[in-house]
Structure 1
């Protein structure tokens, strides 16, 4: 007599167990992919460095031009098109652009080879270092990195208006101590083309549009911002004041007050913002936090007034906002003029202190 096999189905795996195992598998795959990416990027750097130092240096330039195509042909035959002549030249550029291996090792934990391809064309070392450090710290995708470069984010930061030595020092602090300064975060101008404002509008329209497009606004504000309140009530004596927008920045570990203005900056705005900041410092700041900062967003700036008021000493940043992205040439010229003005101010301060 033969026994029939049971037709009872096997019990289904518990959904929680299945979910946990899937998460473990996905995490392991992601880690493996990240490790492979880091190893490949390091390999490309070492190949580029070897060619750069032993073949393409100044004394052997002609020889390098002859040997590189031959070297590429041999490598392609054995290892594939990843080592074609054009790619080898890019690896040489990579090694020449990022000569410090220790800094590179810290970057490749978060940045892929494609990130570095986007960074290599940047000629200004400080500009390139800024984008590399920010992309690593904020875990930007390649697409986000390219968008930030195209929008001239570095040139719009307060940092870019400082002396070269100060910029290098603040970027080194960010890299080594994982700490950002306000100059790394603050921008001018802010580009708010995503708000969809046309023709004329009031401050209330601007505020409502920002609330509606809060996610995009937070991205434009910069790293570490989170929304706290709209029309924050500030009771002083027997009066109620209302701050337009209140944010917290976890990178800076401080509250950031934002006032929205339609029209040019006026000196009276300083007193209003100072009042808000001192109230926030007294009533809202936690013991471990730094003093609150203020941002006054205007459609125009009176630069001599801002300079004479020394707003930076009060923790106040005045910036213009643009509701439409201007042509790149116009934006480049505008930012170049702002940088030149900042440099002249720095030189004037040095002269006054001598």
Structure 2
């Protein structure tokens, strides 16, 4: 009787899972269709405003009046403030050579027909894959990408990432600020020699960056900066650090302890990467990279693979996260090592952007002024 009840319960749970999956899939399709319609409408409005601005010399005041009139005609209308209408104009002018609309808003204004404003590809630079991703990305995300990036290649990169990884606007802003487009795939590493599976090697290359923006770490006195202080700040802000790492990382522990021959050893930060299905060890260094760091990491990875890694998981990967590095030194240091490793740098909140260096006194000068 108990076995029969368990069977009925399992069948019930499977039915619930199937229904849940069907409901979520339907909701997602509806959301994508609604977003596609909205983008087409905004593109059409942007076209109308752009043409009116050129032909009739519309200024900002006219757009404000237009926005207010729309509010009077449609009380409670949201998303059509003067600033948003200007964004629609920018959206249209950016993509006008790559998309058009099957029916123009001007036609709709002239007739009572309910005509859908469907975006249609006209530019050869927009592939079928990009067209699908384009319609999955919300207008707020689109405008963030347009306002913070310059080249079409970069814009396409962030559109595809946003669509495939379901980035929130906060996540998108972080990755644009940390310059993921230029950082991804540049990590100095020995993956080509050590990771023999092509698919796994490609995943490893896309999982790590050459530089990580740790802007949540603010150390007032650079002289007080040390590995443990940086580690504590990372752990205290672990959600933000996971955001900087990207998707598919799960935090396991800091100062991960293992014992070998009655001696304790500690890995600064240990993560798990779901895409690669492996442990990822980070060793934090406050200064410039030196070759000795890799020997220590090689030892850690050997121990993790022997003592911690599960049978179905792939070999562990190690990342040395330091303040500075010389890529040529890193390249020579990798020779003859048999564990997958890379060397990244980090930039904290107290690092002054290059364009401001020389304009403000440095920490030493400020100290002398205060003494």
TM-score, reference length from structure 2 = 0.60
2:320 is aligned with 1:319: no
Cα distance between partner residues in 1 of 2:202 and 2:37 = 29
Q: Quick check: 1:190 aligned with 2:212?
A: yes
* Cα deviation, residue 294, structure 1: 0.8
Matches within 5 A, 1:177-256: 181-199=203-221, 200-256=224-280
* Matched residue, 1:106: 132
Query: In 1, are the aligned partners of 2:174 and 2:244 still within 8 Å (CA)?
Result: no
- Report 1:1-354 matches (<5 A): 32=30, 34-42=32-40, 69=55, 87=88, 90-96=91-97, 99=123, 100=126, 102-108=128-134, 110-120=136-146, 122-159=149-186, 181-199=203-221, 200-310=224-334, 314-324=339-349, 326-330=351-355
Check the 8 A contact 2:321/2:345 in 1, yes or no.
Answer: yes
Distance 1:132 1:65, change over 3 A: closer
Separation in structure 2 between the aligned mates of residue 102 and residue 189 of structure 1, nearest angstrom: 32
Q: Residues 248 and 255 of structure 1 are in contact (CA less than 8 Å); yes or no, is this contact kept in structure 2? A: yes
Normalised to the residue count of structure 1, the TM-score between the two structures is 0.62
Kept in 1, the 8 Å contact 2:256–2:267? The answer is yes
The SS at the match of 1:194 is coil
- Encode CA deviations 1:134-180: one digit per residue, 9 max, x unaligned: 22233223343234323323223334999xxxxxxxxxx9xxx9x97
The offset of 1:266, in angstroms, is 1.6
Shift of 1:248: 0.7
Q: Which runs of 5+ in 2 are unaligned?
A: 1-22, 59-65, 71-79, 100-122, 190-197, 357-371
Deviation at 1:315, TM superposition (A): 2.0
Given that residues 247 and 256 in structure 1 are in contact (C-alpha distance below 8 angstroms), is that contact kept between their aligned partners in structure 2? Answer: yes
In structure 1, stretches of 5+ residues that fail to align are: 1-24, 52-63, 163-172, 332-354
Q: Deviations over 1:186-218 (max 9, x none)?
A: 223222231232321332222222221211121
Q: How many residues align?
A: 277
Q: Aligned-pair distance for 1:269? A: 0.8
